Amino acid sequence: MLFKQQLPSQLFIYANLLLLFSLSCKDSSFDYTVDVALNPYKISPLTAQLKVISNMPCSASFKVLGASPIEQSFDEISENLTIPIVGLYPDTMNEVAITFTYDGGQRTDTIKIRTAKLPVGLPDIIINTLDRSKMEPGLHGCDVHLANHGTFNSMPLIFDDQGQIRWYLDLSFSGKMISPFQRLKDGTLLMVSRQNIFEFDMLGKQLKQRMINQNYGMHHDVVALPNGNLLVCVGKRNAYINVEGEQIQSDSDFIMLYDREKGKIVKEWDLAKHLDVSRQERNYIKKGDWLHMNGLAFNEKDSTIIVSGRNQGLSKISWDDNLEWILSENKNWGKSGRNGNGFETKPYLLKAIDQEGKEYSKDVQNGNKSAEDFDFAWGPHAPEVLPNGNIIVFDNGVNRNFNDEKNYSRAVEYEINASKKTVKQIWQFGKERGESFYSSIISDVDYLAKSNNILVTSGFVTPKKDHSGKIVEIDYDTGKEVFEATLYFKTLTGNKVAGWGQTDLMYRSERLELKY
C-alpha cells in the first residue's frame, strides 16, 4: 500500500495522514493507494477528498469517529474511487474509518486527518435542551453571517448535538452576503447574492455561478420549485411608486421566475399591482421600501405563491398573477397600483375569527389590539405551507399594535378560508417567552415532516447584551421544547450596534443530514 498526502495551499491548514491496520480484516489479495486532500476546494475546511486506486474493483464507505459519528456509503464500484469526507472535527486529529468492499471480502482501515482551528469569529454554541428520542433526525444547519463593517462574511455551518461545528463554508471571498443557505433534493447547495446565483457541493466545489440581469437585485429568499426552477424575491432598478405625489424608486417588490436550465428570467410578478404602495403604517426605513418582501412559499396543490412582506403582512398570488387574499391588520388599506389607480384592496383582507367562528372586535381586526388567542404577524418572515394546507410563519412582532410595548416573537399557524375570507389562529410558540426570544429582524420557521415537530429560529436576540441567535425544536402536540441551541455571536468586525453589516446574525436554520 502506498499513501500520498496533498496539502492545501493555506499555510494554517495541514493534514497528517496515518494508516492503522484493522486486525480483523487483513487481506493480502487486496491492495490500494490513496491520495488525501484536506479542504480540496479551499472554502470547506472540515472536509477532505480521498482518491483511491486499488488492484480490484471495490466500493467504499467512511465513518468519522467521535461523540456524533458521521458516516456515509457510496454505491460506485471501481478500481479508481473518489471518496468525499464530510463532518471532520475542527482542531483535531480526526480518526476516519474507511471500509472497502470487494469481491471476496471487506477491509477496514483507519485514517487520521488533522484539521485546523475554526475561524475566531464563528459563534460559540451552547446546547440548552436535547431529547433525541423526540427530535427530528439530522444535525443542525444554519445561515450565519459575520459583520464586516457594513457588509457580511457569510459562513453557513452545521453543528452536532454537542454544539461542535462539523462543517462550514467560507464564502467571505464574495465580500457580500450570500443567502439563504439551502440544500436541494439532489444535494446541491444553493444560495444567492444580489446579482449571482451560486451552486456548490458539500466539499466547496463550485458547480455553477450565474449572473442575472443587472436590472434586478436578489435578496432575502429563493424557493426551488419541483421542476428545479427558482422563485426569487427581487427589486428592480427601474421600478418606481407614487407616494403623496412623489415618484420614488421602490425596492423588494417583484418576484422573478428563473430557469436554471436556460440561465434566464422567464416570468415576473409585480406586487405593487396587487397591494397599496401608499400604506406606510409599518414602514419605518424609507418610503420606497413599502413592502420589503422577505419570504416566499410555493403551494404545489394550486400553484400559488404566499408572499411575506415585512411592512404589509402576508398575501397570496396565483400563478397567472391574480391577488387571492391579504393577511394583515385591516387598518388603512386603499387602492393597489404603483400610482394608486388600481383596484380596492379591502375586499381581499381576511377577517380574523375565533375558534367558534365569530369575528373579533374592530380594534383586533385593525391591529390596535391583540386578542388572547389571535394576533396578526408583525414584520413576518419565512412563510411555509403545511401538509394540512395551513400557513405557518415567523411573527417577528416588530411594532406590534403599532407600538414597541409588546416585544415578543413567535411561530404562528393560521387556517385560512379563502372563499369566506376568514383567518383563524391554530397554534403558536414564542409569545410565552417574551423578550428572551424576540428578534426584530430575519428569522425562520420550518415544519419537520418525520417528527411532526416545528423548528423555530430567532436569529437576532438581544443585540445589546449577550447578542445571540436561538434554534428551538418544538413538539407540535405538547408545545414543549425538545431541542434548543443558543449561538452566541462575537461581532469582531462591526460596531455592535443594530445596523446592517455591523452585528453578526443568523438568518435561518434547517434540520438536515451531514452528508455529501
The predicted pLDDT at position 203 comes to: 98
Question: Once rounded to an integer, what is the mean pLDDT over residues 213-228?
Answer: 96
Decide: 451 and 433 in contact? Cβ < 8 Å.
no
Buried b (16+ CB within 10 A) or exposed e, 17-55: beeeeeeeeeeeebebebbbbbbbbebbbbbbbbbbebe
364 or 465, greater pLDDT? 364
C-alpha distances in Å from residue 472, one per residue of 180, 457, 459: 19, 6, 11
Residues 141 and 109 in one domain: no
**pLDDT above 90 coverage of the chain, percent:** 90
Q: Give one DSSP letter per residue of 352-375, joined into a string.
A: EE-TTSPBPPHHHHTTSS-BTTB-
Residues 187 and 308 in one domain: yes
Decide: 39 and 15 in contact? Cβ < 8 Å.
no
Q: Residues 262-318: pLDDT tens digits?
A: 999 999 999 999 999 999 988 888 899 999 999 999 999 999 999 999 999 999 999
The predicted pLDDT at position 15 comes to: 40
Q: Residues 401-419: pLDDT tens digits?
A: 999 888 999 999 999 999 9
The predicted pLDDT at position 23 comes to: 29
Q: Total structural domains in the chain?
A: 2
Assign residue 432 the CATH number of its domain.
2.120.10.30
The predicted pLDDT at position 284 comes to: 82
Residues 6+ apart with CB under 8 A from 140: 158, 159, 160, 471, 485, 509, 510, 511
The predicted pLDDT at position 404 comes to: 87
Residues 186 and 51 in one domain: no
Q: Residues 29-73: pLDDT tens digits?
A: 899 999 999 999 999 999 999 999 999 999 999 999 999 999 999
- The 10 Å Cβ neighbour count of residue 214 is 9
- pLDDT class of 144 with cuts at 50, 70, 90: very high
Domain that holds residue 193: 124-512
Residues 100 and 153 in one domain: no
Residues 64 and 160 in one domain: no
Q: Distance (Å, rounded) from C-alpha 336 to C-alpha 218?
A: 24
The predicted pLDDT at position 496 comes to: 86
Residues 79 and 157 in one domain: no
Residue 8 confidence (pLDDT) above 80:
no
Residue 19 confidence (pLDDT) above 50:
no
For 280-421, where are the E strands, in sequence order?
A: 293-299, 304-309, 313-318, 323-327, 351-353, 381-385, 391-395, 410-417
Residues 217 and 321 in one domain: yes
The predicted pLDDT at position 27 comes to: 55
Give me 113's grid cell: 486527518
The predicted pLDDT at position 278 comes to: 95
Question: Once rounded to an integer, what is the mean pLDDT over residues 15-26?
Answer: 38
Residues 174 and 238 in one domain: yes
The predicted pLDDT at position 462 comes to: 87
| Average pLDDT for the chain | 93
C-alpha distances in Å from residue 436, one per residue of 334, 432, 460: 36, 10, 11
Q: Distance (Å, rounded) from C-alpha 145 to C-alpha 291?
A: 24
Name residue, grid cell 469517529: 65
The predicted pLDDT at position 28 comes to: 66
Question: Once rounded to an integer, what is the mean pLDDT over residues 129-147?
Answer: 98
Question: Once rounded to an integer, what is the mean pLDDT over residues 73-78?
Answer: 98
Give the domain-ending residue among 94, 114, 134: 114
Decide: 309 and 293 in contact? Cβ < 8 Å.
yes
